[in-house]
Structure 1
Amino acid sequence: MSAHVDPNTLVLEEDWIKFRREKMQELPEEFSGKSLPDVLLQHQKELLQATSAYNLVVTDKSRRVGATWGVGADAVLTAGLARSEGGMDVLYLGYNLDMAREFIDTCGMWAKAFAPACSEVQEFMFTEQGDKGEEKAIKAFRITFASGFEIVALSSKPRSLRGRQGYVILDEFAFHDDAEELLKAAMALLIWGGKVLVISTHNGVDNPFNQLIEDIRAGKRPGKVVRVTFDDALNYGLYQRVCLKTGKEWSPEGEAAWRAGIYKTYGAGADEELRCIPSQSSGSYLPRTLITARMKKHIPVIRWKSPPGFVDWPADLRKSEIEDICAEKLKPLLDDLNPLWRSGFGQDFGRSGDLSVIHPFQVRPDLSLATPFVLELRDVPFESQKEIVFYIRSRLPRFFHAALDATGNGAFLAEACRQKFGASFVSEIKLSSSWYILNMPKLKAGFEDDKFELPFDDDILADYRGIAMVKGIAKVPDDARTMGADGFPRHGDAAIAGALAVFASEQDGGEIGIGTTGEQRESSKIAEQYTGDLGELVPRADLADFMRM
């Protein structure tokens, strides 16, 4: 049957099916003659860049943003290459037959566009083992290539992967019946050089998909998370592509109206379906029992509130008072630090309303963090806080990094430390959803793995208990307030300082006196990673490695 259908000719049902399949396997005319980077939107490029650099990639995405469509190009390029160039079989597992067929049709389209020698899409019966050991035949789809490799769309059952090897794509993973076992089966393919890509929208905070993302962000699993919300995709040009496909004229007003309509359609489900926020995400992030298990009675909390009118004291008197406080309260603790362990600190800044909390740490040989003390300052002037921080830094053995809250007024102290210590030793952190989503899982992992410790203190317990899931992101809610034992309000300040300490402990700043100059290294421009959208954190490798056109 030709690509053109004569309206006067009787068309049999099976002929029409074949015709429609052929049309689905053609690259849209608007992309004819264009290279792969021109065809893919930015989030699709970033996903392919991640799969080139990591053996395990997970993408939590909005509905219908074209992630699977873009991955079809990756599948064809992978299966079309020779083994010596990194080619391998591609094994796709959706949770129903329609998804499998749609993916294979997409791959067929890419295969024709790239023009590698390949077969037509084939339907075949795949034999797998049943629950009781019996053999059973199920429908599957495949495309074979001259390279000797193939793309196969398999059943969603974990046993479908037994005896197989290659690049596994688990689509809408959160909705598979046995997601945990499926992931275990897929991970086995990594042993012999395979790759695993997990694609899904969210299906609840306790779903194995969300747990996998948390594990990667916490550093418990090697891998990469690529996040793309509906608004991310719009920003990258999704609606322009829709207009191109439907023949509509694009305009900002038209896009805004279309976006509003999509959100209205999803209603209460928009957070999970479009914004990548798992449902049922409320309540405290860290259980009380987990926090108290990491509290040690020997760790002191030093609290100091400046005397009334202290900000107006003459400068020499203020300086003398700070020197006395440091010598009396901090010097004995700092002198007692292990001189062989690397040191650093995190600070959450506050001036009048909130506390300033400084959380020093030392890295033990087993990479756990020792907390020598926690310092809380209330209503302490900017300059005096700077003097205290400089005093602590100067007495930390093998100092290598500090992470300071540079949000709002904290920018003053963070910048002063950068200028004093050297840019490679300081991270100026603008606290944001982007920062929390990447770093709070690492704080939680520190508690779970017994790599982090706190003073045994009720106010600090309340601060850490105040971390909650807010629209899928672990943070201290803006309106979360507790009353401290001193009668003054708190806003999770110690918890933020602890999270900044964990962040600082993972940075690669050098040590003062070990041949460093204080000049900023390219690898230490850490704060810049957190000034933009999440998508900017994904490595942007050269797509030319993918293109075999």
Structure 2
Amino acid sequence: MEPTNKKAEVRSQKSRARRTRESGVRGAAQVPLYPYQERWVRDGSRFKLAVKATQIGYSFAAALEAVRDCIRHRTLWIVLSRGERQSLEFMQKARELAQALRIVGSKLETSFFEKTNILQHEVKFPNGSRIIGVPANPDTARGYTGNMILDEFAFHQHDREIWAAAFGRMSRGELKLRVISTPNGQRGKFYELAKEAGLVDVGVRSQESEVRSQKEKQILRFAQDYSRSSDFFATGSNNHPTSIWSGHWCDVHLAKRLGCPINAVQLRQALGDEESWQQEYECVFLSDSQNYIPMELIVESEHEQATTALPLDWRADGGRECYFGYDVGRVRDLAVVAVVEKVGDVYWTRALIEMPKTKFSAQEQVIGDVAPLCVRGAVDATGLGMEMAERLAQKFPGRVEPVSFTLARKQDLAMRLKQQFEERRLRIPESRELRRDLNAVKREVTSAGNVRFDAERTEQGHADRFWALALALHAAGSGASAASGEIESERESYDAERGGSIYEAEKEPWAETVGGMQ
């Protein structure tokens, strides 16, 4: 009888495990989703690609699909995100879903989900399934073999190398590949993949586009009947029947119509930049052929260790070779101070101090804090900046250079800045505003044959961050030698009128744990 009892116990354990998995899948299936998220989760195609507006929940849907797959059978999902911060954000979604399933499991009186191991970069399920989140680079892509999620792939540095490595690691068997991103110009591997899937021409400027309307009607019809599969995006409506991709597309307007609580009008007004709105919210792949510094160069130079505020220990650590640039502004334009540090042959952005509609007296005090920390600085001496530049040059003799923005000088500034990007000798922080300013300046040839560098003036400024950074690099290239010894600022921080400090804010105790490399 004993062998029979053991067999019965084994069958009972297998039955409980099966019921647990089924209940977990049912629990995951009960997570409330918008129709476009539901379609993504239910689409079991091996190769899926989504062109989507920012912040409408596609990463959450991708995390849910991975969690459901991990419950069903033993498998591995690798999530490649743009950087450490983005990787943590994606894994936070996976952790929240796993924790929710623990609650479901307790109600079903099963201990299966209690054994789920939830870490910062990994979720490990009792059946051996794992979800791992890592920053994207070719080496991490080669480090695992499993299902792959390339999150915000259009913004990955070294995207072609990452693509080759990731595709090679999931090509065997029936491993799956998910590529998700907001558009980032008509360049890069994501643009090529979206074009192959027939999703490039969907996000057009005209809201009445026939192609766009057809796509939306297909999704709306699918939303009314989840039980059937839709092959419209898998084959594409733009004569792409041979594409391997099951394509998904959703802009802010479609997301709103399908229930996502978005105030599109308010968002558009707050953003204040039509091109950014079209690309990030309306899924338009914009061409930047006229822009002097291509977006690809800008994105490749972004680094998590480049900062927008000086570290708190900056004053105590002397001997740094720093330079600053100051683009003067008052009402129409934004006043910006950029600080770069030369480390070896690379310039690292250490601060971007923005002063909207700030009194000149307060701006001058800011320079009083910054200049003593730097070897040299360059100040915009054009128009409103002339008097300011003269005063600062007198106050800091040999350390501040007034720079008049003539056509020839602006050409020199712009060319020097672009050269640093091309030679990979500049590191900048991840910032939508900085990215927009750097990409906004255009090179034009006037009727007289002169070369002109300028950007359209908007409510957000006049590419002021571009010129502040260019001035800082100009100061670095002026032949000044590095200061020796420790240089201390005359003031601890900005006064109350200026509303802050040139140093990064004190963090709460939990910030180091949660923020990581932010």
TM-score, normalisation: structure 2: 0.35
TM-score, normalisation: structure 1: 0.33
